[in-house]
Structure 1
Amino acid sequence: MNPKSPAAAPAATAAPPERHPSAFEPVTLVLTIVLSVLGALIGIVLITSLGVSPNTAVIGALVAMLIGRVPVGMLRRMRSQHRQNLVQSAISGSTFAAANSLLTPIAVPFALGRTDLVWPMLGGAVIGLAVDSWVLFRVFDSTLLPATGSWPAGIAAAETIKAGDTGGRKAAILGAGALVGLVGALFKLPTSAAGVGFLGNIWALLMFGIGLTAAQYAPDVLHTDLLAEHVPHGMMIGAGLVALVQALLLMRTRGGQAPVHAPGEERTVEAPRLRRGLLEGMGLFVCGAVVVAFAGGVAGDLSVPALIGWIALAGVAAIVHQLIVGLAAMHSGWFPAFAVTLIFLIIGLVAHIPTVPLALLVGYTASTGPAFADLGYDFKAGWLLRRDATPWHPFEMDGRRQQYLAQLVGFGVALVVVAVAWKTFFSDGKVPPVAEVYVTTIKSGLEPGTLTTMLLWAVPGALVQFLGGPSRQMGVLLATGLMVATPQAGWMVLGALAVRQLYTMWRRRGITDRAAREESDEQAENDLSLVGAGLVAGSSLNDVGQLTKAL
């Protein structure tokens, strides 16, 4: 799954660099805009009616592939895997931007009865979305967020594109996996969870599966609703704090030298750029908080010290939210954006922040994270599709830049769609359910003992994260599983891990040579990755198909 190292093909470096297709080529751009409108509409319809935002990347890839098969002039250009990658990046970005990063934040002041704050909040959400994507563009493929990470939806998109181009055995395995994923999802089974179990770090996914299973059975076995008791939130606080310390340690360099990676794991982003990217993001998030404070009238409601504290908390909440959501998404394919935002809401209640400033803080925090995670999925897909380019490094960096530009187009389309449609949706009572939960929590306040419970459960969360280390994110994934709490998802993940281990051992049978065993393990991983990608793709198709119910 690793790209060729530039050093692995010295003869190829003398050849003229291959150019990646541009995001602004006429056919690509037109298709990008049209599908981004579709993605944005799908996103806002489903987030307001069903409370979910589907990954539309596979839909974008399939449409681009079909258009590439039309025997008409320039449309044939869409047969390029890299152009299909640009289109799927844009439509998935548009979907998550419209639903999670723009509509949900502005629904918070609306649900609070402050329609006058919708436009200021939209401005703040746009800043949050823009900084969110910029930071990921700067730090993707670092030691913190490596391209070799799971990013399950990215693998599904890449394998779908490759299967459509090459066919053969891989297409058959992927297609069978997608069919199983779709059928299972139609029967309300979380087949995407099984798909994730075939794709990521075993230890991280084991903790994710344990968290999912514990959340499902705790009400019957322990007679306790862990989510209602804020146990997962406490564990996420502890795990998140340790994860942030681990991230800071990854930003260091030793003696000014770049860290040494294992063969095939060369990073395109080293520690200095990771450090600059996160610091730039922190500064930009603070600037965005200043804009929200003055545009939303927070400056007039708070004293100067309180205003400074609000701005600092908003900036920290934004970057912490994006990092935790991104790490969870990289390993599990799920991002606990709602629950992590709720943590900062609770912190705001503990700090006795007034109602309106707290609502704006929550909206601003909610605008970060999902787009960050989605762009990681898309970069992963592009990284897989570009790994055989020669010379690899310049083509990879050019392709990543073009993907980022394509997503910016998708974000722009999402902004226009939300700006035009929000009043119609909200007037009809179609408000994202999570926004109503935020407002209800703001109005009702904290139950006695909530803070104590969270602090107590922060200790085991921190301990698990510390023992697992930054590469496994075990504490964050355990807390994510407890927060997601999707029925039967735990069994899907744990079952997939068991099948994964058994299949690997079955392929090893009778092999004693070490090199042959490693080759067998690699082939087993490739087969299971195709199955996992198919399951995720099939589940995503079902999610998009929910549009008919919403309408």
Structure 2
Amino acid sequence: MREEKKNVATEKNENISAFEPQIIGIGILLAVLSAIICMQIIGKVGVTPNTSLIGAIFAMLLARIPLASMTKFRSLERQNLLQTIVSGAGFSAANCGFIAVGILYGIGKAEYIMPMAVGCIVGTGISVIVVGRLFDSKIFPAHGAWPSGVATASAIQAGDEGGKKGKRLIEGLALGVLGSYLKIPMAGIGIVFIANIFSMAGLGIGLILRGYSTAIFNGFDMGASNIPQGIMIGAGGVALIQSLFIIFKDKKKTADEEKADAGITVSAGSAKKTIFTSFGAYALGAVLTATVTGIMSGMDPAKMVVWVLWAAFSSTVAMMLVGMAAMHSGWFPAFAITTIFMTLGIFMGFEPLPLAVLTGYIGSSGPCFADMGYDLKTGWILRGKGGDRERELYGRKQQVIIEFIGVVIGILVVMFFALLFMKQDIMPPISKVFATAVSAGADTAILKELLVWAVPGAAIQIIFGNKMVGVLFATGLLLNNPTYGIAVLIAVVVRMIFGTKFMEVRDAGFIAGDGLFGFFSNVLKAFF
């Protein structure tokens, strides 16, 4: 026991590098495995698991192998680095790379798979760097909810500490698995006790309105309309303006604001610079993607400039919106947001091939802020919640490095296996949806509908301010899961009556149990 305490104390003063031979060696092997599994799951089942949590399970199991060479992995920070590379490879392979190349395959352009994958490495790689520089700014604070990151950190800590916290986590895990088996959305219930209660209420209402729209609105199917996308355009546009106002405003701060800013490691000036730089980086990435895919030669110079600027703008905005939704609720409508920019791209007159490449490029940039945000939140908790600023900044830098390596590995796996999978009809369903939309062309009625419904979306977001109720309400409308909505609203009522104390750690267990059950059941469906 004394030796264990000494090891913990040593770890607190130790800077652990992402390039430690054991971390990078084992990390690469686990990353390849994670990428293949996540590709198989999204191709056969249409969903991806919580990659942050799955990475933690891999790391925790490794730490418990009774070999002298594995004792180093009892360090929570080493487990976090392993978890990060596994997560990075999983989400980049499934949510970024496989979906993007699937669009090209879906429109009959299989020869563009390799160039599109290169574009995905560029788009996702830029996002990794941008997320690393925006995390723990005023618009994306480390102390924000980031529910899946909290669940992952709680799982790692409880596995290490045991005691009351471990007991609570096991209780939550057991209930999470049991509830998921009974088709109860336990992750949604757990998230309510971690996230902002207003934003979760907005999400729940949106989910119910979408799921039961035919019953509520006398046979009208909201999912078949463009109302959800229109509301997201309005709410998302206002949310971006609100976020920019936060970092650009220059006024005398109150005592509470000074206190809140004291722990922030990314200044408003730095966040400003990162957002502007990210637009330029995405523009350069778009030029590179257009060059390697050959679409540049098929467009006149003016159309090419518009394509590049739209790709850069859409990638920047998609990343920000996904980050906001993920931070506040644990849900992120990355595919729906990509659909919005793809639809607007159709009205700009882009041909099917440039439009497919545009959609793939935008789609590769958005999901990163969710999954990576969760990974960074996990690391922030395990490193002491920013108590040691120098240690936090160093540890976060190592996470960004290893996440980047994981992303490259994930998309390289896509390069090797995507065509093989798709020839066996193992292909993300959303890729087929994108491919169909790209081939269908423009309809002016759609544009009108989007603009009309952007107005109430903007109004809701303005009324509730930075609680992101408008964005989360739109997120709920974009997802067809009414049962989840009911569970969320019931949990909101319970939280209002009883508070959150009785759910501490158990809430993370609910999320972890739900995630683990979903992962293993999806693996069984995908492979058997």
TM-score (normalizing by structure 1): 0.90
Aligned counterpart, 1:209:
204
Corresponding residue of 2:115: 120
Letter of the 2:516 counterpart: L
Give the match for residue 4 of structure 1. none
C-alpha displacement of 1:16: 13
Q: CA deviation at 1:272?
A: 0.7
Whole-Å separation in 1 of the counterparts to 2:38 and 2:474: 26
Q: Contact 1:18 / 1:389 at 8 angstroms: preserved in 2?
A: no
1:402 aligns with 2:377: no
Query: Which of 515, 518, 521 pairs up with 1:543?
Result: 518
1:145 aligns with 2:120: no
Match of 2:328 in 1: 331
- The answer as to 2:68 corresponding to 1:73 is yes
Query: Are 1:106 and 2:81 an aligned pair?
Result: no
CA displacement 1:326-360 (0-9 Å, x = unmatched): 11111111111111111111101222211111111
2:237 matched residue in structure 1: 241
Q: Does 1:230 align with 2:206?
A: no
Change (3 A) 1:258 1:273: farther
Tell me the equivalent position of 1:318: 315
Q: Distance in 2 between matches of 1:275 and 1:447?
A: 37
> Does structure 2 conserve the Cα–Cα contact (< 8 Å) formed by 1:17 and 1:394?
no
Alignment equivalent of 1:488, drawn from 478, 483, 508:
483
Picking from 214, 220, 226, the partner of 1:219 is: 214
- Does 2:428 match 1:441? no
Higher helix share: 2
Aligned residues: 515
Per-residue displacement from partner, 1:279-333 (whole Å, max 9, x unpaired)? 1111110001111222223222222111111111111011111111111111111
Aligned pairs (5 A) from 1:237-386: 237-252=233-248, 254=250, 260-262=257-259, 266-386=263-383
CA distance in 1, matches of 2:427, 2:334: 17
Find the aligned partners of 1:347 and 1:204 in 2 and give their Cα distance: 27
**What residue in structure 1 maps to residue 425 of structure 2?**
429
In the alignment, the residues of structure 2 paired with residue 493 and residue 16 of structure 1 have an alpha-carbon distance, to the nearest angstrom, of 39
Rounded to whole Å, the distance in 1 between the matches of 2:504 and 2:321 is 25
Maintained 8 Å contact 2:133/2:274: yes
Please say if residues 97 and 129 of structure 1, whose CA atoms lie closer than 8 Å, have aligned partners that are also in contact: yes
Asked if 2 retains the 8 angstrom alpha-carbon contact of 1:208 and 1:481, the reply is yes
Q: 1:263 to 1:314 in 2, by over 3 A?
A: closer
Contact kept, 8 Å, 2:23 with 2:78, in 1: the verdict is yes
Match of 1:520 in 2: none
Report how far residue 79 of structure 1 moved.
0.8
Residue 457 of structure 1 corresponds to 453
Confirm or deny: 8 A CA contact 1:198 1:531 kept in the other structure.
Answer: no
1:387 has 2:384 as partner = yes
Distance 2:253 2:208 in 1: 44
Shift of residue 257, structure 1, vs aligned partner: 9.1
In 2, Cα distance between equivalents of 1:66 and 1:459 = 50
Aligned residues of 1:253 and 1:272 also touching (Cα < 8 A): no
Measure the CA separation in 2 of the matches of 1:321 and 1:146. 18
Deviation of 1:66 after TM superposition, in Å, equals: 3.0
CA distance in 2, matches of 1:388, 1:486: 34
Change (3 A) 1:294 1:412: closer
Q: Residue 190 of structure 2 corresponds to which residue in structure 1?
A: 195
Quick one: structure 1 residues 78 and 446, their matched pair in 2 at CA, closer, same or farther if it must change by over 3 Å?
same
Residue 67 of structure 1 deviates from its aligned partner by 2.7
8 A contact 1:176–1:534 mirrored in 2:
yes
**Structure 1 residue 185: Cα displacement:** 1.7
Change (3 A) 1:263 1:277: closer
Matches within 5 A, 1:407-426: 407-426=403-422
Which AA in structure 1 matches 2:192? G
SS of the aligned residue for 1:227 comes to helix
AA matched with 1:346: T
1:170 counterpart residue number: 165
Checking the alignment, whether the CA contact within 8 Å between 1:325 and 1:373 is kept in structure 2 is: yes
Question: Does the 8 A contact of 1:56 with 1:544 survive in 2?
Answer: no
Q: Specify the code of the residue in structure 2 equivalent to 1:462.
A: A
> Are the structure 2 counterparts of residues 442 and 252 from structure 1 closer, same or farther at C-alpha, using a change threshold of 3 Å?
same
Residues 16 and 483 of structure 1, relative CA distance in 2, 3 Å threshold: closer
- Name the aligned partner's letter for residue 460 of structure 1: P
Provide the C-alpha distance between the structure 2 equivalents of 1:76 and 1:308, rounded to a whole number of angstroms: 54
Where structure 2 has 5 or more consecutive residues not aligned to the other structure, the ranges are 1-9
What residue in structure 1 maps to residue 505 of structure 2? Answer: 530
Name the CA shift for 1:112/1:72 in 2 (closer, same or farther; >3 Å).
Answer: same
Which of 315-324 and 256-265 deviates more? 256-265
TM-score, normalised relative to structure 2: 0.93
Deviation at 1:116, TM superposition (A): 2.1
Q: CA deviation at 1:537?
A: 0.5
- Structure-2 change in CA distance of 1:256 and 1:121 (3 Å): farther
CA distance in 1, matches of 2:92, 2:11: 37
**Counterpart in the other structure of 1:55:** 50
Is the partner of 2:31 in helix, strand or coil?
Answer: helix
